[in-house]
Structure 1
Amino acid sequence: MRAKQALSILSLALTVAAAAPAFAQDAADQKSLPTELIDALNAVFGKQTDNRAVHAKGIVLEGKFTPSAEAAALSKAPHLQAGATVPVTVRFSDFAGVPAIPDTDPNASPRGMAVKFHLPDGSNSDLVMHSYNGFPTATAAEFRDLLLALAASGKDAPKPTPLEKFFETHPIAKTFLTAEKPAPVGFATLPYFGVNSFKFTNAKGDSTVVRYRMLPGGGAEYLTKEQLAEAGPNYLAEEIRKRVGDGPVRMKLQVQIAEPGDKIDDPSIAWPDSRKTMELGVVEIDKVDPDSDAAQRALLFLENAVPAGIETADPMIDIRSQAYAVSFARRHATAAQ
């Protein structure tokens, strides 16, 4: 089962790579790392025009966030204070940089969930998560190298392929790509993980390092193999539309709290489940954006744009945010032509 899964989750990227010219970065190339990341994603999934370089297929919804009574003890951020209910914009997505990928394709996992908190002063605070507890590499530069190895490992690549060589020294990346990822009943029936670390500071000046996680209000639910075989290519968007139509969808926002010795700047290492968690509040989704396609093209999520009381603790956050901005600029530049 795992061998079949491994071949399946890599097949789409390898097919695209084999059909495209070889992609390589010249050593003298002075492009920034965020730009290299987007170029590498394009090499794997194909160059995007008006879509994201990755997590291209998605749906946008609206709702609100209500903080828990305990949240302010961790952070003085405005949306974590008692009574500070704020509007949110939520985007659920499939993984690949392919806007028409069927939801039933293994390459559609891990799923993504991004939340934009609309703060009282008119600013925003963003959160980006995916449905796998961990990241394939420790650094953004290693992730670029993984993508380049993937792009260079088409079916005619000599053995051992660049990807096979990369896996020899990066076993966590191999596990990430080959681990079984069950298909969910719906976008809102999955747990999501913020793999990067943040530092929270409360009004007293006490600081705590945390990682976010979002849990489905009704518990995790997955399709059986038989149910997956009968599901349509867009079943996730259809399911969340129906679910929201039946009433507000609630998901619990938590943080996992670091202990001494935990990796703060290495998102490839998941913290143990024994770590203490605290509930920050509830995201309640009650509306699908009436023009979701236009909304998701216009949305930009920047995790490093944080209010007082929250700081980035993992340098990957800044690089990821810059890469998202590169992808955003490219799809809007194309649309303007």
Structure 2
Amino acid sequence: MSKEVVADLLDALDALGGGIHPGFRPVHARGVMIGGTFVPAPSAAGLTKAPHANRASVPVTVRFSIASGIPSFAENDPAGAGPQGMAVRFHLAEHTHTDIVAHSHDGFPVRTGEEFLEFLKAALASGPTAPTPPPIVAFLGAHPSAKAFVEAPKPIPSSFARQAYFAVNAFKFINAAGESRFGRFRIRPTAGTEFLTPEEAAKKTADFLDAEMSARLANGPAEFKVFVQLAEASDEVADSTKSWPATRSEVEFGTITLTERVDELAPDHRKLIFDPVPRVDGIDSAGDPLTDIRSDIYLLSGRRRRKAAE
């Protein structure tokens, strides 16, 4: 993927969010950060030799967010609150980490960076002065996975801690014996999922998800179970638009226990760049072209955010 395409993607995302918002991400701009701990399940070591799967525990920083690129976007507005995001940083040592980047929809609208740019440009060209039918209609008609993504229900949860999250890309997990399996991370709240009706959401405040997490943590930890859904031979591992059947087996990877809010806007936290590429021994890319393009965009926008925070 060329640097020009990455730059064009960032420009398009900025435009969809109403321009550059210094110090904020171009999408999932509004969020909350929470500190906690990850404890691996016994089965994790059989799947991968990655450090966080083979230690007693590691500290984590988790960021929950809504989809919009506008920092002030209301958390109860269905036009841009979903899908919600959950990014997890596993702190392995000083300046050493690995991440999971997930959102609340099982899949992604397009397969490649070029298709993603085409998708964004079609959306940008489909404003109030657009011809009839607008360009986005033609794009969705030619890309069934994007149409399914756009039309999929995205209900607003009662809490970030009552939502399930799906890592978009698949990875190759390699254990100490050299055995490998392809899989995708799945993160589910132990409290179960819970969603608001449109009428209930409309009565909430613009920052209700943020406030709810503070109130929840004041009464005790929030817990999530991490699983890896395993691919079978017939499953497409390099196409993030293809979800796998729910009947696929899962390996329990571990438990995330969140205990306290951290300041999302503090300079060190604002500079944090989550990376869709694991960059840890024992978990490799499965070859999905979106894995690297997402990483490149996150890095480019993250460097811009860091500069604004200086």
Once the two structures are superposed, what CA deviation does each residue of 1:67-120 show, in whole Å capped at 9, x if it has no partner? 001100000001001x43000000000001010000111111000000000014
Q: Indicate the residue corresponding to 2:258 in structure 1.
A: 285
Q: Indicate the residue corresponding to 2:27 in structure 1.
A: 54
Q: Indicate the residue corresponding to 1:137 in structure 2.
A: 110
Of 33, 39, 42 in structure 1, the residue corresponding to residue 14 of structure 2 is 42
Q: Which has the higher helix share?
A: 1
Structure 1 Cα separation of the partners of residues 198 and 192 of structure 2: 19
TM-aligned CA deviation for residue 296 of structure 1? 4.2
What root-mean-square deviation, in Å, do the aligned CA atoms of Structure 1 and Structure 2 show?
Answer: 1.4
CA contact (8 A) 2:111 2:289 kept: no
Q: Indicate the residue corresponding to 1:217 in structure 2.
A: 190
CA contact (8 A) 1:59 1:296 kept: no
State the SS of the aligned residue for 1:118.
Answer: strand
Of 219, 226, 229 in structure 1, the residue corresponding to residue 199 of structure 2 is 226
1:259 partner letter: E
Of 40, 61, 70 in structure 2, the residue corresponding to residue 98 of structure 1 is 70
TM-aligned CA deviation for residue 229 of structure 1? 2.3
State the SS of the aligned residue for 2:120.
Answer: helix
TM-aligned CA deviation for residue 144 of structure 1? 1.3
Structure 1 Cα separation of the partners of residues 200 and 113 of structure 2: 37
Q: Indicate the residue corresponding to 1:250 in structure 2.
A: 223
2:290 partner letter: M
Gapped runs of 5+ residues in structure 1?
Answer: 1-29
**What TM-score, normalized by structure 1, do the two folds share?**
0.87
Gapped runs of 5+ residues in structure 2?
Answer: none
TM-aligned CA deviation for residue 298 of structure 1? 1.6
Per mean C-alpha deviation after superposition, the further-off stretch among 132-141 and 59-68 is: 132-141
Structure 1 Cα separation of the partners of residues 98 and 306 of structure 2: 22
TM-aligned CA deviation for residue 335 of structure 1? 4.3
CA contact (8 A) 2:108 2:168 kept: yes
Structure 2 Cα separation of the partners of residues 227 and 159 of structure 1: 34
Structure 2 Cα separation of the partners of residues 288 and 127 of structure 1: 19
Q: Indicate the residue corresponding to 1:188 in structure 2.
A: 161
Structure 2 Cα separation of the partners of residues 187 and 330 of structure 1: 27
Structure 2 Cα separation of the partners of residues 167 and 148 of structure 1: 12
1:268 partner letter: T
Structure 1 Cα separation of the partners of residues 130 and 219 of structure 2: 50
State the SS of the aligned residue for 1:51.
Answer: coil
Structure 2 Cα separation of the partners of residues 256 and 157 of structure 1: 42
1:86 partner letter: V
Judged with a 3 Å threshold, the aligned counterparts in structure 2 of structure 1 residues 249 and 122 are, in CA distance, closer, same or farther, namely same
CA contact (8 A) 1:250 1:285 kept: yes
1:320 aligns with 2:290: no
Structure 2 Cα separation of the partners of residues 212 and 305 of structure 1: 12
TM-aligned CA deviation for residue 122 of structure 1? 4.7
Of 153, 159, 176 in structure 2, the residue corresponding to residue 203 of structure 1 is 176
**What TM-score, normalized by structure 2, do the two folds share?**
0.95
TM-aligned CA deviation for residue 34 of structure 1? 2.1
CA contact (8 A) 1:113 1:128 kept: yes
Structure 2 Cα separation of the partners of residues 223 and 134 of structure 1: 22
State the SS of the aligned residue for 2:265.
Answer: helix
Per mean C-alpha deviation after superposition, the further-off stretch among 94-103 and 218-227 is: 218-227
1:267 aligns with 2:240: yes
TM-aligned CA deviation for residue 315 of structure 1? 2.6
Count of aligned pairs: 305
Structure 2 Cα separation of the partners of residues 117 and 308 of structure 1: 14
